[in-house]
Amino acid sequence: MMDRRTLLILALACLAAAGGWWLQDRWTNRTPRQPPAPAGVKTLAVGDSASNYALPDMDGNTTALAKWHGKVVLLNFWATWCAPCRQEMPMLATLQREHAADGLQVVGIAMDQPPSAAAFLKHLPVGYPILIGIDADPVPTTTFGDTAGLLPYSVLIGRDGRILKAKLGALDSSTIKDWLDEANASKS
């Protein structure tokens, strides 16, 4: 039989382990807080219309998000130097191929200069439109709520042009499925 001291040490060890597990779970599953936007910069939030927002495409032609009105639009902010961005791009390309007929349009927004983005896309063609956000003022990630400027950052826009969801960090298939289910359920 164990003495009281051994039982006390064992109980404290179990308590410390449970506390460590709880802290680790809270840390890894938390959504990072965004700092406030710079003074004078309006950020869009869930429920706001994004239809009038426009950026240049790879050829320098201005493209407004209204071009895809009536479709569910998944904006994905990325850069060539962003490892998680590069990892999720093949999944987004597959998503575009598989769900285009359902009214989904993936739109990549490169936070790189056009020559860098073009060179990268030669090695990893994605099959969805790419807009260029690096020279826009204010920075597009800030406009869409990523005031920290971290990548990747994704925004889901409903058929009516209003923002439905936003996520900092790489998307996974479960999140995308949930987002598309919600967007298709609203049919707005």
CATH of domain 54-186: 3.40.30.10
Domain boundaries, the chain: 54-186
Yes or no: say if 104 and 180 are a contact pair by the CB < 8 Å rule: yes
- At residue 142's C-alpha, the angle toward residues 86 and 174, to 5°, is 45
pTM above 0.75, yes or no: yes
Predicted pLDDT of residue 30: 47
What are the mean pLDDT values of the chain's consecutive 10-residue runs (188 residues total)?
Answer: 76 67 54 69 90 96 97 98 97 97 97 96 97 93 93 97 96 94 81
The encoded tokens of residue 17 equal 């382990």
Cα 22 off chain centre by: 26
Task: Kindly tell me the number of DSSP H helices and DSSP E strands found in the chain.
Answer: 5, 7
Q: How many residues does the chain have?
A: 188
Predicted pLDDT of residue 11: 67
Peptide bond into 138 cis (omega under 30): yes
